[in-house]
Structure 1
Amino acid sequence: MLSVLAVTFPFFALVLAGYIAARRRMLPFEAIGGLNTFVLFFALPCMLYRFGASTPIAQLLDPTAAILWLACALLVVAATVKYSMNARIRWNDASFGALVAAFPNTGFMGVPLLVALLGAQAAGPAILTIMIDLVFTTSLCIALSRLDGADQHGASDAAKKALKGVALNPMPWAILLGGLSSAMDWKPVGPIMDTIGLLADAASPVALFTIGAVLARSQFVAAQGEHGPMPASDFVPVALMKLFVHPLLVWGAGMGARAAGLPLDDFTLTVMVLVAALPSASNVSLLAERFGADTGRIARIILLTTAAAFVTFSGVVALLT
């Protein structure tokens, strides 16, 4: 366990550093958008391209792993929405709560952390889960969030906007280009590849620092709009769903798939379980703010899962490796 904590500690320490820097205003809130832009549009796509280009195409197009991950995500979304819905939490808030329960922080945290723990071959299954969560899970939850509206076309319009957002997101395109490079055994010329490498190397530390800064800003914005304390039952069970139910569900589904004779190797299943054990994706707070959901609730879930994951995620790693 200590050897695992020695690997995971620097990753969570960088998140804490970003949180403290933003909380104490050493990093102005206005600057966080610039950091996020650098990570999302420059550094992270280069990192995903580099890993995708060096990963066998069969790992990026593993149908068993893809179907298993999507099925588990749909179950987590359905269970979280069903639990969350009450007189105060309607479709909008329940749907974004479901998204943070089903969408791990794979891009900003998971890929570099899993590569550090398991080696470069862990990138393939992790990248596959990113594609599914960006294209399917996010689009579904945004569509569900519009069911509160009186307009019967609200959900379909939201789904179209979500898919448009996916099309404008550079991460899926970077993964696709990396997959094509892998399939064609091709890579850019030396100077361009060196530039990609420099940006890719910057992705992990800047992304982790940015996660902490985004969490601090989300917490501050949420506190400004709150009226009275929030019941723990509104956010703690969703955090538990993310950290415990999601990885257990992926592990159980994977063992069931293997028992049924489906091709799913031990390493791929281990990576997928560890991805599911990651904290919630920090960018969901930005989506929740854009669609008018309760950002205070979402920020609490993300912050709780991120803080607790230092112990829970490390524990899952120790159990599986």
Structure 2
Amino acid sequence: MLNILLVTFPFFALVLAGFWAARRSMLPLEAIPGLNGFVLYFALPCLLYRFGSTTPIASLLDASVVGVYVLCALVMVAFAVAMTLNQRIRWNDASLGALVAAFPNTGFMGVPLLAALLGPQAAGTAIVTILVDMVVTSSLCIALSRLDEAEGHGRQAMLDAGRKALRGVVANPMPWAIILGAVASAWAFTLPKPVEQTVWLLADAASPVALFTIGAVLARAQMRSNHPMPMLDYVPVVVMKLLLHPLLVLAVGSAAIQLGVPLSPAALTVMVLVAALPSASNVSLLAERFGADNGRIARIILVTTAAAFFTFSAAVSLMT
């Protein structure tokens, strides 16, 4: 366990450093969008391309991983919505809450962390889960979040939300970086040396800057959320994310293997650890865009990130 904590500590320490820098005004809040832009449009796509291009194409096209992970994501969204939807928390807040319950922080934190723990071969499975969460989980939750509007505007509101979610996926450089990396892997294509070195340098910057930015984003969300909040509004979702999600993936994946699905134990280990990651920090931006209670979403992300230092390390200890 100590060896695992020695690996995970620097990753969570960088998140804490970003949080502290923003809270102490060492990092102006106005600078956070710039950091986000650098990670989202430059460093992280280069990191995903590097992992994709150096991963065997079979790992990136593993239908067993896709099937099991999609099923678990759908179950998590349905369960989270059913457990939180009430007179106060309507479809918009319940759906975005379900998204933080089912969408791990795989891109900003999971890929580099799992590669450090399990080796570069773990990146292929993690990248597959990123595509599922961006295309399926996010689109579904955004569409469900428009059901409050649909009560007055019918199906058109949901269709508009679905189109907006798909446009967001198309405009996101991460899936394109993954696709280009997969194509490069399939064709054994390598970039010209100067270009490759540039891409690799940006990829090396992705992990530290992304983790620092996560902390700054969480600090900003906490500083802007001043209203008191009952623990029942966010603690159950924290438990769903850190405990129920990985247990569900483990149970469904193990059952699939028993039924003869060609899912490798190594891939299942990566999927369980992906599910054990804290909630994706970019859901806070979606909550702002769609008018949900961002204070609640930010608190869930903050608590899952803090608690994951212990729960994720425990999951790694049990799974490896």
TM-score tier, shorter chain, comes to: over 0.9
Aligned residue for 2:204, secondary structure, equals helix
Measure, in 2, the Cα distance between the counterparts of 1:86 and 1:137.
Answer: 22
Partner of 1:196: 199
Partner of 2:69: 69
1:19-98 alignment, distance < 5 Å: 19-98=19-98
Deviation at 1:87, TM superposition (A): 1.0
TM-score normalized with structure 2 length? 0.98
Measure, in 2, the Cα distance between the counterparts of 1:302 and 1:202.
Answer: 23
Q: How many residues align?
A: 317
Deviation at 1:274, TM superposition (A): 0.1
Partner of 1:255: 254
Deviation at 1:115, TM superposition (A): 0.2
TM-score normalized with structure 1 length? 0.98
Deviation at 1:151, TM superposition (A): 1.3
Deviation at 1:24, TM superposition (A): 1.1
Deviation at 1:78, TM superposition (A): 0.3
Partner of 2:113: 113
Q: Summarize deviations over 1:231-288 as a string: whole Å, max 9, x none.
A: 1011000000000000000000000000000101110000000000000000000100
Q: Summarize deviations over 1:175-220 as a string: whole Å, max 9, x none.
A: 0000000000001100000000000000000000000000011112
Partner of 1:298: 297
Measure, in 2, the Cα distance between the counterparts of 1:21 and 1:123.
Answer: 30
Measure, in 1, the Cα distance between the counterparts of 2:153 and 2:301.
Answer: 30
Percent of aligned pairs with the same amino acid: 67
User: Could you tell me which of 157, 160, 184 is aligned with 1:157?
Assistant: 160
Partner of 1:266: 265
Measure, in 1, the Cα distance between the counterparts of 2:82 and 2:230.
Answer: 18
Measure, in 2, the Cα distance between the counterparts of 1:25 and 1:317.
Answer: 35
Measure, in 2, the Cα distance between the counterparts of 1:234 and 1:76.
Answer: 17
> Which runs of at least 4 in structure 1 moved beyond 6 Å after TM superposition?
none
Partner of 1:137: 137
User: Structure 1 unaligned runs (5+)?
Assistant: none
Q: Which moved more, 1:55-64 or 1:36-45?
A: 55-64
Partner of 1:286: 285
Aligned residue for 1:120, secondary structure, equals coil
Amino acid at match of 1:171: M
Aligned residue for 1:318, secondary structure, equals helix
Question: Is residue 165 of structure 2 the alignment partner of residue 166 of structure 1?
Answer: no
Measure, in 1, the Cα distance between the counterparts of 2:217 and 2:268.
Answer: 30
Measure, in 1, the Cα distance between the counterparts of 2:64 and 2:158.
Answer: 29
User: Could you tell me which of 205, 212, 215 is aligned with 2:215?
Assistant: 212
Q: Which moved more, 1:151-160 or 1:110-119?
A: 151-160
Deviation at 1:222, TM superposition (A): 2.1
Aligned residue for 2:153, secondary structure, equals coil
Measure, in 2, the Cα distance between the counterparts of 1:186 and 1:109.
Answer: 27
Measure, in 1, the Cα distance between the counterparts of 2:197 and 2:181.
Answer: 15
1:226-265 alignment, distance < 5 Å: 226=227, 229-265=228-264
| Root-mean-square deviation (Å) | 0.5
